[in-house]
């Protein structure tokens, strides 16, 4: 239960899988851009729930009514849980190898409960989805939702705790994300005792990259940029985003705030890669913040970037 799924991914192929059990009562009703032919013996169901969102914002603000994933989070959580083994997988060309979910031969039913406009996921949609999934005949639920800064709620007003309690009484496993991140202390999400709460851990893989300044100094950071767009020894001037804005706007690189004349051929001190690109910048440098501690996170920002 998340932001949907991109069904064409190789992680969801059904090669070698047995027929769908007759006890399955769900359906492939993916809506727009999601014909039922995209479901198979692996991806056995697809539905979307947006009634709560529509009641709040109106039908014109719900985006496409589809189970297709426009955000990416639902696809990645589904493949982590039960993606098929895929050879020669990589992340933007890095770390080639085989990818696999925890239970690669489990079947998946996808329930989209978060709309494409990123206005959040509504309690009413979450609870309606949980009820429908149990009626469909699922064996377990995985949900990776929570508040950015968790505030412990009494279980009787926490929608996920309420939904999970009803689920386990039906003999269904309920797994949810703890939401822990960063270096600072904070409460975790979804910690009701009847929920299997899954926390994030760390790993020792890095994607190091260097910035070489004109005076010879080298700053090591982290980047997913492959170096193909620039020639060796090629230098560019730097400009802080706050000094490249129009109309006195803040240096956050929001759409239409950067002055193309100031940005042209500059390497930007900002994380809004696509905005910098549209304004004529050649790349992006982002700085760390206290809440991240010493962690360096390499993120794809749609433009040569370096955190």
Pick from 76, 68, 64, 144: nearest CA to 112: 68
Residue 201 belongs to a domain: no
Rounded CA-CA distance 1/177 in Å is 12
3-class DSSP assignment, residue 61:
helix
Q: Residue 208 corresponds to which tokens in the numbers above?
A: 């190091």
Residue owning tokens 């006890």:
23
Q: Count structural domains, the chain.
A: 2
Parallel, antiparallel, or unpaired: how do β-strands 208-212 and 218-222 relate? Answer: antiparallel
Pair 134, 234 in one domain:
no
Residue 245 belongs to a domain: yes
Q: How far apart are the first and last CA of the chain?
A: 31
Residue 187 belongs to a domain: no
Residue 105 belongs to a domain: yes
Contact 295, 221 (CB under 8 A): no
pLDDT the model gives residue 242: 66
Residue 139 belongs to a domain: yes
pTM for this one? 0.79
Rounded CA-CA distance 46/5 in Å is 8
Q: Among 119, 145, 171, which residue terminates a domain?
A: 145
Residue 179 belongs to a domain: no
Pair 299, 227 in one domain:
yes
Parallel, antiparallel, or unpaired: how do β-strands 305-306 and 196-198 relate? Answer: unpaired
Residue 119 belongs to a domain: yes
Structural domain that includes position 276 = 208-306
Rounded CA-CA distance 220/192 in Å is 42
Q: What is the mean pLDDT of each run of 10 residues along the chain (307 residues)?
A: 96 97 96 95 96 82 80 93 95 87 97 80 94 97 80 88 96 92 78 93 80 89 78 79 56 50 42 68 75 63 50
pLDDT the model gives residue 98: 95
| CATH value at residue 109 | 3.40.50.200
Pair 130, 235 in one domain:
no
Pair 113, 212 in one domain:
no
Pair 113, 217 in one domain:
no
pLDDT the model gives residue 226: 76
Pick from 43, 49, 46, 76: nearest CA to 65: 49
Residue 266 belongs to a domain: yes
């Amino acid at each position: 239960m998340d932001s949907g799924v991109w069904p064409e991914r190789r992680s969801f192929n059904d090669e070698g899988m047995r027929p769908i059990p007759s006890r399955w009562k769900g359906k492939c009703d993916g809506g727009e851009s999601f014909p039922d032919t995209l479901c198979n013996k692996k991806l056995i169901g697809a539905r979307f729930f947006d009634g709560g969102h529509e009641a709040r914002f109106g039908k014109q603000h719900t985006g496409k009514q589809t189970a297709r994933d426009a955000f990416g989070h639902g696809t990645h959580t589904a493949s982590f849980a039960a993606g098929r083994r895929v050879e020669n997988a990589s992340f933007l060309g890095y770390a080639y190898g085989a990818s696999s979910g925890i239970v690669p031969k489990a079947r998946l039913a996808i329930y989209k409960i978060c709309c494409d406009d990123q206005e959040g996921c509504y309690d009413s949609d979450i609870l309606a989805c949980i009820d429908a999934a149990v009626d469909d005949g699922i064996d377990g639920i995985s949900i990776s939702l929570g508040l950015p800064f968790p505030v412990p709620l009494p279980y009787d007003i926490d929608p996920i705790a309420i939904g999970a309690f009803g689920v386990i009484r039906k003999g269904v496993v309920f797994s949810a994300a703890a939401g822990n991140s960063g270096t600072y202390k904070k409460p975790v999400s979804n910690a009701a005792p009847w929920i299997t709460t899954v926390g994030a851990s760390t790993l020792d893989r890095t994607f190091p990259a260097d910035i070489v300044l004109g005076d010879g100094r080298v700053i090591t950071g982290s980047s997913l940029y492959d170096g193909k767009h620039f020639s060796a020894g090629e230098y560019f001037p730097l400009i802080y985003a706050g000094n490249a804005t129009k109309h006195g706007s803040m240096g956050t690189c929001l759409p239409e705030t950067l002055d193309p004349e100031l940005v042209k051929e500059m390497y930007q001190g900002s994380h809004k890669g696509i905005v910098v690109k549209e304004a004529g910048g050649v790349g992006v440098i982002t700085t760390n913040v206290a809440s991240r501690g010493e962690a360096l996170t390499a993120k794809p920002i749609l433009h040569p970037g370096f955190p």
